[in-house]
Amino acid sequence: MKAHSGEVGVFVRIRPTANFSQDIIECLPDGQTVNIHHKKDTRKPLCPRKIQRSSWSFRLEGVLQDVSQEEVYTRVCRRVVLGALDGYNGTVLCFGQTGAGKTYTMTGSTESYKQRGVIPRAIQEVFQEVQKRTEHTFSVYLSYLEIYNETLVDLLASLQSSALPSPRSMVVSEEPGRGVFIRGLSLHPVHSEEEALNLLFEGEMNRVIGSHALNRNSSRSHCIFTLHLESRSRTLSDAKYVTSKLNLVDLAGSERLGKTGSEGQMFKEAMYINKSLSFLEQAILALADRRRDHVPFRQTKLTHALKDSLGGNCNTVLVANIYGEASQKEETLSTLRFASRMKCIRTNPAVNEHMDPAAQIKKLKKDVQMLKEELSFGNTLVNRPSVPYDPLSQAQLAEIDSQVQRYLEGSLKEISIISVSQVRALFAKFKLAVHRGQEKKVNARLRQTYNLGEEDQRADTPAVKEWDTRGSTEEDEAGSFEVSHKNTQHPSSTRAKTKKSKDKPSQSKRQGEESPLSKKRSDSASKPKLNSVQSPEREQELQEPDTESQEPQESQPNGKEPFHPDSTLTKAEAFDDFKMGRGSKLNRILQENKAVLLERRSLHRQLTDEVNAVKREIDCTAATMQQYRETRGGQGRYSEPDDTLLNQLRELKALYRQRYEVLNDIKAEINYCQHLVDQCRVRLLSEFEKWYKKYSLVPEEDLETSMDNTLDQCDDNQLPPESSSSESFHNARYRMLRRRNTRSLCVTPEQRSSSSGSGQRTLPQIPPVS
Ligand code: ADP
Ligand code: MG
In this predicted model, what pLDDT tens digit does every residue of 46-57 receive, in sequence order?
Answer: 555 555 668 899
498 is an annotated ligand-binding site residue: no
Confidence of residue 152 (pLDDT cuts 50, 70, 90): very high
Determine the residue type at 3.
A
Q: What is the DSSP string of 694-716?
A: HHTT--HHHHHHHHHHHHHHHHT
Distances (CA, A) of 398 to 416, 421, 426: 16, 14, 11
- pLDDT digits over 363-394, tens only? 888 888 889 888 888 888 888 777 777 788 88
| Domain covering 9-38+54-158+174-350 assigned CATH 3.40.850.10 in the classification | yes
Looking at residue 515, its pLDDT comes to: 36
Which residues lie closer than 8 Å to 282 by C-beta, 6 or more apart?
Answer: 296, 299
Kindly report the backbone phi and psi dihedral angles of residue 312, in degrees, each rounded to the nearest multiple of 5, phi listed first: 60, -135
Confidence of residue 495 (pLDDT cuts 50, 70, 90): very low
Runs of H (alpha helix) within 581-642: 584-634
**pTM beyond 0.75:** no
Distance 108 CA to ligand 2 centre (A): 10
Q: What span, in angstroms and rounded, lies between the C-alpha atoms of 333 and 586?
A: 78
Q: What span, in angstroms and rounded, lies between the C-alpha atoms of 207 and 735?
A: 62
* 98 within 8 A of 255, measured Cβ to Cβ: yes
Asked whether the predicted pLDDT for residue 743 surpasses 70, the reply is no
What integer best gives the mean pLDDT of the chain?
A: 73
Torsion sign over Cα 478, 481, 487, 492: negative
Q: What span, in angstroms and rounded, lies between the C-alpha atoms of 332 and 58?
A: 12
Q: Whose CA is nearest to atom 18 of ligand 1?
A: 101
Q: How many residues are recorded in the chain? A: 770
Q: What angle do CA 748, 751, 756 make, to 5 degrees?
A: 135
Q: What angle do CA 43, 47, 52 make, to 5 degrees?
A: 80
Residue 33, number of CB atoms within 10 A of its CB: 15
User: Which H/E stretch holds residue 354?
Assistant: strand 352-355
Q: Whose CA is nearest to atom 15 of ligand 1?
A: 104
User: Which H/E stretch holds residue 550?
Assistant: helix 547-554
Distance 760 CA to ligand 2 centre (A): 94
Q: What span, in angstroms and rounded, lies between the C-alpha atoms of 692 and 686?
A: 10
Task: Give the burial class of 534: count Cβ atoms within 10 A of its Cβ; 0-12 exposed, 13-18 middle, 19 or more buried.
Answer: buried
Domain ranges of the chain: 9-38+54-158+174-350, 356-381, 390-419, 572-630+644-692
User: Which H/E stretch holds residue 295?
Assistant: none
Q: Which ligand is nearest to the CA of 146?
A: 2
Q: What angle do CA 10, 151, 194 make, to 5 degrees?
A: 65
Q: Which ligand is nearest to the CA of 100?
A: 1
Looking at residue 254, its pLDDT comes to: 81
Distances (CA, A) of 35 to 11, 28, 515: 14, 8, 85
Q: Whose CA is nearest to atom 23 of ligand 1?
A: 15
Asked whether the predicted pLDDT for residue 39 surpasses 70, the reply is no
Asked whether the predicted pLDDT for residue 641 surpasses 90, the reply is no
96 is an annotated ligand-binding site residue: yes
Ligand 1 pocket mutation, candidates 104, 204, 223, criterion most atoms within 8 A of CB: 104
**In this structure, which residues have their CB less than 5 angstroms from ion ligand 2?**
102-103, 219
Percent of the chain whose pLDDT exceeds 70: 66
* DSSP-based three-state secondary structure for 116: strand
Ligand 1 environment, Cβ below 6 A: 15-16, 96, 98-104, 219, 253, 321
* 459 within 8 A of 495, measured Cβ to Cβ: yes
* 259 within 8 A of 333, measured Cβ to Cβ: no
* 311 within 8 A of 9, measured Cβ to Cβ: no
* 467 within 8 A of 612, measured Cβ to Cβ: yes
Atom of ligand 1 lying closest to residue 106 CA: 6
Q: Which ligand is nearest to the CA of 97?
A: 1
* 269 within 8 A of 217, measured Cβ to Cβ: yes
203 is an annotated ligand-binding site residue: no
